[in-house]
Amino acid sequence: MKIRLIAEGSTKQERKTLRWGISFLVGDVLFDVFGRVDIFRKNIKRFKINLFRVKHVVISHEDWDHVAGLGDFLRTNSKARVYICRKSGKTLKELILNSGGSLVEVGKTRKINRNIFSLGQMRANTGRGILCEQALVVKSRNGFSVITGCAHPEIVRIVRQAIRIFGKRIYAVCGGFHMKDNTREENLKIIAELQALGVKKVLPLHCTGSAARQLFRKTYGRDLVPLREGQTVEL
């Protein structure tokens, strides 16, 4: 299964300019739509991505840095089905419906297409209240891989949930792992747990944080797969 990174913001400077968030193209599924619509639009054109081929849009959660490009996308392709967590707020739901999109509210694990699944909404206490988030589970020749937006429900918990539901080890974990504000000890514990769960490859992006990425690199070595905007990787 080919995964293409459309847009990503991960540094402190990028966050200051609101160039923050993440967006992937996974087969015919658009996963999250970045935090700045101008960058999202620019990269779609720059990387020659045909939005009319997108059949499904999955929004991991409703934070601004994952939904900014949604209205712009729906003005181009309103036929795509948009999957959001059932507990998402009224504003996001109205945006989809008012843009002519087909709204799908996700509770439990759900099949998106033949090889791509939503893990289902998972709750997280962010300090700002309860937030619900969904991750993608992708089946390919290497097995099952997990793609996350921010991993607010905790990356280890997400991987364990995927193993429990699909009954298989997770080959790769890709996306934002939400480790940027952790201590070194907390991050080392997470990395050790992912290894113990059998995760072979990691693609830490967005809110993972540079310190955590360095620790991943020391532990995983060549099994940390770098991914830049516009690049495609096969999981």
Domain layout of the chain by residue ranges: 2-234
The number of C-alpha atoms within 13 Å of 140 and in the hemisphere containing its C-beta is 18
Question: pLDDT class for 129, splitting at 50, 70, 90?
Answer: confident
pTM exceeds 0.75 for this model: yes
3-state secondary structure of 186: helix
Adjacent-strand bridge partners of 102: 81
Residue type present at position 162: A
* Structure tokens given for 149: 């937006």
CA gap 157, 180 in Å, rounded: 17
Which fold would CATH assign to domain 2-234?
A: Metallo-beta-lactamase; Chain A (3.60.15)
3-state secondary structure of 113: strand
* Structure tokens given for 129: 């209240």
Kindly report, residue by residue over 70-125, the tens digit of the pLDDT: 999 999 999 999 999 999 999 999 999 999 999 999 999 999 999 999 999 999 98
CA gap 106, 104 in Å, rounded: 6
